[in-house]
Chains A and B, each alone.
Chain A
Amino acid sequence: MSRRPALGGLLAALLLLGPVGCGIPDDTEVRVEGSGPAAEAGATSGGRVEPPSRTASDTVEEFVANFLSAAAGEPDGAYDRVRQFVDSADRPRLQEKQGSAVSLTVVRLIGPPRIVASPDQSRVTLRVQQVGQLGADGVLEPPEATATSYEFGLRPTLQDSGVETDWYVVDPPAVLLLSVEALKNYYTPRPVYFWSSDRSRLVPDERYLPRAVPKDRLVSEVVRWLTGGPSNWLRKGVSPARDDTRLINNATRTDDRWEVNLDMPGDDRTRLEQLGTQLAWSLPELTGQLELKVNNQSRLTIDDLAQRRQAFPAYTVDDAPQRFCVYEGAVHSLDYPGEPSGPVPVAATANTRVVSAGFSRYERGILAALVVTGQNGRQHLSVGVGADPVTAFTRSQGTGYATMGRPVWLRSANPPAGLVVADGQLYRFDSQARMSRVPLTAAGNVTGVAASPDGHRLAVIAGNALYVLAVNHNGGVLDAGSPRQLYTSLTNLSAVDWSGENTLVVGGSAGQPAIYEISVDGARESALREATGAAVTHLAAYPANPANPAAQISGKVMYEANGVAFRGVPFEQIKRDPVQGVTQPPAGNPTAPFFLY
């Protein structure tokens, strides 16, 4: 009897409380949902090139060389790697910097290191030329340090037999030193491209990518460089990168397709297209698809990067350069077998009393600038613009100049303009041969000028030093950036021209007159000709066409020294035979050779 109500109450309580008990539990058991994703079978890319470790050297010299390459590699680990070389007591002397502040001091050794050996500590003295500061973004900036020598000690670790097996650096320099040899060995120079100020063409910018970086990370690094903006010295000539664009994590690859996720405010299709073209040029080894995402939204897909490069050339360089020289006071073409040649694109009436000349192709016509000797023996500039052959020439005003260098055309200028050195000053001229001085902050007389194939950079020799600077020619006004000095081992610099988009050929003296090829930051140099016998007075080169590397010609450099013209590499004298349009026998040497492209 009484069980019934009791049971009922229990049931009711249970049932009303029942739903209360069936909420989301506080803790559950681990539930396995399945197996995880399988690893992608991707090819492991690239041998990792690391600088040798502290103990890898057998001799002190080798150890010093290794010490100077220790910092090479990814900037994050630079301090760690150098610290391995340093005696533990002296390690705190290396004031560590983090992230983008890591900067390596690139030096060129002048002569071998001087090592004063002693039983317990050797002293090493390095005589150096400061080349630059290699930043975390791969840019070699002008040097900050002025030291011409570094000195440090070596504490040997002696084995029982008394043989020195390895060493520790004591009293190390406060900076991370990197020799130019190490820069060459452990970094790959890579051009990345920025849009010129008028966004009409791409201007190359040199970067150094550590070889330790796996190939798969290349895209990410390049995108970071591009979003990070151009090198400082280039800023005048290129449009600045917007600093609100940022790469989100890494660019990733699926088969042959790369995916770049950007953090970019606004919906700027044009900018994305331009960035795509920049990427296509900055990553010449990529041929597949590139997808650009903005905040995870797919915005632009470039189906074929190679096609993109063809469709949007970085800048125009003619594939078929023609060689010309001045012979007997007139411009003549040089004809070599297998190379294009043609008539001189200048009317014969104007082609007299020529000292040197500079031609350039411009749209469908020819830009011609001739340095001619006037009646008074002084030199004038004669400029003609028009269809081939150019007949109408205008002579520069004034009394002329005592000496004038070879005129060069600025390929980016519109309307056409060129540059010429006259009486130690740099002048700009236009199609009417109006000359105006270009002020330079670089000290000393200007003795040589060369314009890059993209037309936004100049190489200038002033006060016996080599400079590069960015220019921007807009609306007939030449706007020059501040020159950046390149530190090269050459002295007595006499002539310069661009042999590639990021290389210069420079005539100077390395003990004896020589021609070197120098990178646009001055760090890498290689001798093209060790001994020219005499100072190089004229130097011309045909830059490799990045759009068509196959169209490379042999002997892209021509120079004149001591009144004799050579072409190379390998170098050979330019004899009379290839000179066209002359009749025998007037004798003499072809001089002031140059390219038309």
Chain B
Amino acid sequence: MALPPISDLATAAPQRRGAAWELWRALSGRGTRLLAGLHQTWRRSLQVRVVTITLLASSLLVGGFAYLIADKITNILLENAEADVKTRLDSGAAYAGKQFGLYNQPQEAQFQETVDGTVNYLAGGDPQQTSGVVVALTADNFSGVIQPRTSPAVGNLNSVVSPELRATVAGGSVASQIRTGRLGEERTKYLVYGSPVPTRFGQVELYYLVPLTRQDSAATEARATVVATGAALVLLLGLLAALVTRLVVTPVRVAARTAQRLSAGLLDQRMVVNGEDDLALLAASFNQMATNLQRQILRLEEMSRLQRRFTSDVSHELRTPLTTVRMAADLIFAERDGFDPAVARSAELLQAELDRFEELLTDLLEISRFDAGFAALDAEPTDLVPVVHRVADRLTCLAERVGVTIELDVPAAPVIAEIDPRRVERVLRNLVGNAVEHGEGNPVRITLGVDDTAVAVTVRDHGVGLKPGEEKLVFNRFWRADPSRARQTGGTGLGLSTSLEDARLHGGWLEAWGAPGQGAQFRLTLPARAGDRLTTSPLRLVPADATLPFGGPRDGGLLAIGPGTAGALAVGPAPAGERAESRP
């Protein structure tokens, strides 16, 4: 209770209310948790669902049948009793009618005697031997003249024979009713049948009160049996459903677990096959599938390994003759001044092509090392600023040759990150080399950015740019934007591929952006600490000066990319106040 106490009197009630609220909250929380648990169980367990549904359906069915049977039994018992009493009543009324037909007046001396005798006779004579059946004769029209009689003698006939029944019978109808009352020791259910008995002076009424104790107990017994049987049946069905479901679910669970293990790479996991049923077939098929997959995967792995090995071997094997060729070519190149100008030109060409050949071999070896998984990261805390400067310096002469200026945007402070400086330098050299090559005389800008978790370098050129979709293709091996275009500069076609592998080796990203006519920008993002996972980059991939085909957002504004009409992707200015993040 966070309520501050104002006064003792005023806080008592709220405290109680608060306590109740707390209790309610606790209870409802518990209930909600329980319900949530149940729901989870319901969703997760096929067995629970099947058993629950079976229990419900079977109890519906069994309950319906039980009701019908119990009802039928009760009705049959009751109908039998009714038919029995009706027969007795009819003959009794006929007999009483004959007996009373001898009298003209109810006042006649022997009439009451005849009433007594008739009732006794109809009750079977000996009151000790009657089966609880009470025969009663009343004369509502002659009360005071004719004493009502019952056999065996009971005092409180009215507790069982209702006034409505008496009125109906006195009205001249044969009528029946079931009533519960106490005539003797115990409270008993009676089937009461009443019939008028016509006499010469009017009408008297004859009643048969038959105890339904036997029928009642029989009905109860039958009902109990039916209910017990029904309950047992429902339970049995539930048990059966649980067993059957278990029979099916267990292998499925095993299959699921095996599949999980398979997908985790444990290719030799198999299911146990028992018998020849459907589940065994499933297991066998599963196992066969796993075996086939494993074989295929192993075959592909082998093929891939052989290819890589072949590349590596070829590179190695080429290197030895190349060295010899190189030595001879160096000799020829050194002596070119003495040659015929045409031969000298050839020696120069030979020298240049040998350089490219060597580079190609180096790149191939590097790639095959990556493919073989032998590439190892030699990470150490390194300041990236000198690395960037070194790369720029290295390529300055090439840039000057094609009339490209290289602009640097690096922070004054050192940018330390755990990197492999050799690989990062190679990546940057590749990127800057490409930018200079495709810069078409426009300046190339290298930007270095840093934040808490990552460092990033972007290389921006203003050349022909990339067509849409080429951002990914540029990292493919031996990919060319225009295959017909001859390779003018010394690119091997493997540079960006190895750069991408280097970036991945660091756990970093290497991404490209480009637009036709607007040049391209590549961004290398590396984690500040080796092994960290990257989430953001300190620099944006899309340069700020890039214009968008639809006019773009206002200067410095954000873009929103989302689903548009007819399945198209809609790109437009983002609503104000939202922060956009773009990823590869």
Does B175 lie within 8 Å of A18, measured CB to CB? no
- Give every chain A residue within 8 A of B71 (Cβ-Cβ): 19, 22
Residue from the list B67, B162, B197 in contact with A15, Cβ < 8 A: B67
Q: Is the interface of B mostly helix, strand, loop or mixed?
A: helix
Say whether, besides A37-B198, A42-B200, A15 and B175 are in contact (CB < 8 Å).
no
Does A40 lie within 8 Å of B198, measured CB to CB? yes
Residue from the list A23, A32, A250 in contact with B175, Cβ < 8 A: A32
Q: B199 an interface residue at 8 Å Cβ cutoff?
A: yes
Q: How many angstroms from the CA of A38 to the CA of B197 in the assembled complex?
A: 8
Shortest CB-to-CB span from A298 to chain B, Å, is 14
- Give every chain B residue within 8 A of A11 (Cβ-Cβ): 56, 59-60, 63
Shortest CB-to-CB span from A3 to chain B, Å, is 10
Residue of B nearest to A31 (CB): B176
Does B35 lie within 8 Å of A214, measured CB to CB? no
Q: B147 an interface residue at 8 Å Cβ cutoff?
A: no
Does A252 lie within 8 Å of B99, measured CB to CB? yes
Q: How many angstroms from the CA of A36 to the CA of B216 in the assembled complex?
A: 28
Shortest CB-to-CB span from A50 to chain B, Å, is 11
Residue from the list B39, B94, B195, B234 in contact with A2, Cβ < 8 A: B39
For chain B, the count of residues having a C-beta within 8 Å of the partner chain is 74
Residue of B nearest to A216 (CB): B102
- Give every chain B residue within 8 A of A252 (Cβ-Cβ): 95, 98-99, 101-102
Residue from the list A4, A27, A45, A75 in contact with B178, Cβ < 8 A: A27
Say whether, besides A36-B174, A214-B104, A8 and B55 are in contact (CB < 8 Å).
yes
Does B56 lie within 8 Å of A8, measured CB to CB? yes
Interface flags for B153-195 (1: CB within 8 Å of A; 0: not) read 0000000001011001100111111111000000001000101
Say whether, besides A39-B199, A76-B110, A28 and B63 are in contact (CB < 8 Å).
no
Q: A244 an interface residue at 8 Å Cβ cutoff?
A: no
Q: A26 an interface residue at 8 Å Cβ cutoff?
A: yes
Does A30 lie within 8 Å of B175, measured CB to CB? yes
- Give every chain B residue within 8 A of A248 (Cβ-Cβ): 117, 121
- Give every chain A residue within 8 A of B179 (Cβ-Cβ): 26-28
Shortest CB-to-CB span from A1 to chain B, Å, is 5
Does B64 lie within 8 Å of A15, measured CB to CB? yes
Interface flags for B195-233 (1: CB within 8 Å of A; 0: not) read 111111001000000001001100110010011001100
Residue from the list A12, A25, A48 in contact with B234, Cβ < 8 A: A12
- Give every chain B residue within 8 A of A266 (Cβ-Cβ): none
- Give every chain A residue within 8 A of B219 (Cβ-Cβ): 23-24
Interface flags for A233-266 (1: CB within 8 Å of B; 0: not) read 0000000000000001110111000010000000
Does A25 lie within 8 Å of B178, measured CB to CB? yes
Interface flags for B98-119 (1: CB within 8 Å of A; 0: not) read 1101111000111001100110
Q: How many angstroms from the CA of A216 to the CA of B108 in the assembled complex?
A: 13
Residue from the list B55, B56, B64, B102 in contact with A214, Cβ < 8 A: B102
Does B174 lie within 8 Å of A32, measured CB to CB? yes
Does A23 lie within 8 Å of B99, measured CB to CB? no
Does A42 lie within 8 Å of B101, measured CB to CB? yes
Say whether, besides A11-B59, A36-B93, A252-B99, A23 and B109 are in contact (CB < 8 Å).
no
Does B97 lie within 8 Å of A19, measured CB to CB? no
Does B102 lie within 8 Å of A250, measured CB to CB? yes
Residue of B nearest to A22 (CB): B71
Q: How many angstroms from the CA of A214 to the CA of B105 in the assembled complex?
A: 10
Does B108 lie within 8 Å of A74, measured CB to CB? yes
Shortest CB-to-CB span from B147 to chain A, Å, is 14
Residue from the list A19, A33, A45, A77 in contact with B173, Cβ < 8 A: A33
Does A16 lie within 8 Å of B230, measured CB to CB? yes
Q: A44 an interface residue at 8 Å Cβ cutoff?
A: yes
Q: How many angstroms from the CA of A216 to the CA of B99 in the assembled complex?
A: 10
Pull 7 A–B residue pairs with CB atoms less than 8 Å apart, ordered by A: A14-B63, A16-B227, A18-B66, A19-B71, A19-B227, A23-B223, A42-B101
Residues in chain A within 8 A of chain B (CB atoms)? 1-2, 4-5, 8, 11-12, 14-16, 18-20, 22-40, 42, 44-45, 48, 74-77, 214, 216-217, 220, 248-250, 252-254, 259
Does B178 lie within 8 Å of A28, measured CB to CB? yes
Residue of B nearest to A254 (CB): B98
Does A19 lie within 8 Å of B177, measured CB to CB? no
Does A24 lie within 8 Å of B197, measured CB to CB? no
- Give every chain B residue within 8 A of A19 (Cβ-Cβ): 63, 66-67, 69-71, 223, 226-227, 230
- Give every chain A residue within 8 A of B109 (Cβ-Cβ): 74-77
Shortest CB-to-CB span from B182 to chain A, Å, is 13
- Give every chain A residue within 8 A of B69 (Cβ-Cβ): 19
Does A36 lie within 8 Å of B172, measured CB to CB? yes
Instruction: Give the number of residue pairs across the A-B interface with Cβ within 8 Å.
Output: 183
- Give every chain A residue within 8 A of B169 (Cβ-Cβ): 36
- Give me the 6 closest cross-chain CB pairs, A-B, nearest first: A15-B63, A76-B109, A39-B198, A36-B196, A19-B70, A252-B98
Does A24 lie within 8 Å of B108, measured CB to CB? no
Does A37 lie within 8 Å of B103, measured CB to CB? no
- Give every chain A residue within 8 A of B175 (Cβ-Cβ): 30-33
Shortest CB-to-CB span from A134 to chain B, Å, is 15
Q: B365 an interface residue at 8 Å Cβ cutoff?
A: no
Q: How many angstroms from the CA of A252 to the CA of B195 in the assembled complex?
A: 20
- Give every chain A residue within 8 A of B59 (Cβ-Cβ): 8, 11-12, 15-16
- Give every chain B residue within 8 A of A259 (Cβ-Cβ): 98
Shortest CB-to-CB span from A466 to chain B, Å, is 34
- Give every chain A residue within 8 A of B74 (Cβ-Cβ): 22-24
- Give every chain A residue within 8 A of B426 (Cβ-Cβ): none
Shortest CB-to-CB span from A63 to chain B, Å, is 24
Does B101 lie within 8 Å of A30, measured CB to CB? no
- Give every chain B residue within 8 A of A216 (Cβ-Cβ): 101-102
- Give every chain A residue within 8 A of B162 (Cβ-Cβ): 30
Shortest CB-to-CB span from A10 to chain B, Å, is 10
Residue from the list B42, B118, B173, B216 in contact with A24, Cβ < 8 A: B216
Q: How many angstroms from the CA of A290 to the CA of B60 in the assembled complex?
A: 65
Q: How many angstroms from the CA of A2 to the CA of B168 in the assembled complex?
A: 54
Shortest CB-to-CB span from B236 to chain A, Å, is 14
- Give every chain B residue within 8 A of A28 (Cβ-Cβ): 177-179
Q: B284 an interface residue at 8 Å Cβ cutoff?
A: no
Does A27 lie within 8 Å of B180, measured CB to CB? yes
Shortest CB-to-CB span from B453 to chain A, Å, is 43
Shortest CB-to-CB span from A245 to chain B, Å, is 15
Say whether, besides A12-B234, A34-B174, A40-B198, A24 and B189 are in contact (CB < 8 Å).
yes
- Give every chain B residue within 8 A of A214 (Cβ-Cβ): 102-104, 108
Q: B38 an interface residue at 8 Å Cβ cutoff?
A: yes
- Give every chain A residue within 8 A of B77 (Cβ-Cβ): 24
- Give every chain A residue within 8 A of B60 (Cβ-Cβ): 11, 15
- Give every chain A residue within 8 A of B55 (Cβ-Cβ): 8, 12
Does A30 lie within 8 Å of B102, measured CB to CB? no
Does A36 lie within 8 Å of B199, measured CB to CB? no
- Give every chain B residue within 8 A of A220 (Cβ-Cβ): 102
Q: How many angstroms from the CA of A12 to the CA of B78 in the assembled complex?
A: 28
Residue of A nearest to B166 (CB): A30
Q: B52 an interface residue at 8 Å Cβ cutoff?
A: yes
Q: B540 an interface residue at 8 Å Cβ cutoff?
A: no
Q: B326 an interface residue at 8 Å Cβ cutoff?
A: no
- Give every chain B residue within 8 A of A33 (Cβ-Cβ): 86, 173-176, 193
Interface flags for B17-39 (1: CB within 8 Å of A; 0: not) read 00000000000000000010011
Shortest CB-to-CB span from B214 to chain A, Å, is 11
Does B35 lie within 8 Å of A2, measured CB to CB? yes
- Give every chain A residue within 8 A of B530 (Cβ-Cβ): none
Residue of A nearest to B200 (CB): A44
Say whether, besides A37-B97, A75-B109, A15 and B165 are in contact (CB < 8 Å).
no
- Give every chain B residue within 8 A of A32 (Cβ-Cβ): 168, 173-175
Interface flags for B42-83 (1: CB within 8 Å of A; 0: not) read 100000000010011001101110110111001001100000
- Give every chain B residue within 8 A of A12 (Cβ-Cβ): 55-56, 59, 63, 234
Does B212 lie within 8 Å of A18, measured CB to CB? no
Does B172 lie within 8 Å of A39, measured CB to CB? no
- Give every chain A residue within 8 A of B101 (Cβ-Cβ): 40, 42, 216, 252
Residue from the list A18, A34, A40 in contact with B67, Cβ < 8 A: A18
Residue in A22, A38, A75 with the greatest tally of chain B CB atoms within 10 Å: A22
